[in-house]
Amino acid sequence: MTTSGDAPLVAPIRVIRTMSVSMLVTPIVLGVVVFVAVPAGGYPPPFLPLLLGAVAVGGVLLAETVGYAAPPIDPHLPPDLAARAALAQYRTRWLIRSVCTEIVVLVGLLLSFMLATRWPYLVALVLGWPIMFYELWPARRLVDKLNLRLELEGAISHLDDALHGRRPVG
């Protein structure tokens, strides 16, 4: 939704932060559900931390490669179209990174119900939540890393302007 000046009513970075908070709170809420719905059970099988660790490493590798594999912006695009394209790529790549990083928590949830013990989810939460925070919270590192990809062919992406709801200049 835009105003007559074609500026967004809410800066996209605020929407992305809100989505990030909801993604980061969900595993904690699921932890409460697991605590109530799954019996304490015994200790987990010894392979469990290794399995979840391998899933975590795989998720991080996917998030760091596929999550930033955006096509460069055409250098001949006008600044406003370049900014829109950059913002669309940021949103798309954020969603891809969220899928890649939340897989650890989802596998832990599945294993908790399959093995009838809370341990898999607890281990998955300890491994997966910091990874999710690192990959999803819209920090300067994420913006700069995607910007490098978008500006590979010499275009100026204006991603920072787009994220903060400013009209690109240039």
Q: Please tell me the predicted confidence (pLDDT) of residue 103.
A: 96
Q: Please tell me the predicted confidence (pLDDT) of residue 42.
A: 79
Q: Please tell me the predicted confidence (pLDDT) of residue 45.
A: 82
In a domain, 73, yes or no: yes
In a domain, 5, yes or no: no
In a domain, 2, yes or no: no
Number of domains in the chain: 1
In a domain, 43, yes or no: yes
In a domain, 42, yes or no: yes
pLDDT tens, 77-93? 999 999 999 999 999 99
Q: Please tell me the predicted confidence (pLDDT) of residue 43.
A: 80
- In angstroms, the CA 85 to CA 79 distance is 10
Q: Please tell me the predicted confidence (pLDDT) of residue 1.
A: 47
Low-confidence residues in the chain, pLDDT < 50 = 1-4
In a domain, 7, yes or no: no
Q: Which domain holds residue 89?
A: 12-163
Q: Please tell me the predicted confidence (pLDDT) of residue 6.
A: 58
**Burial profile 97-133: b = 16 or more Cβ within 10 angstroms, e = fewer:** bbebbbbbbbbbbebbeebebbbbbbbbbebbbebbe
Full-model pTM:
0.86
In a domain, 24, yes or no: yes
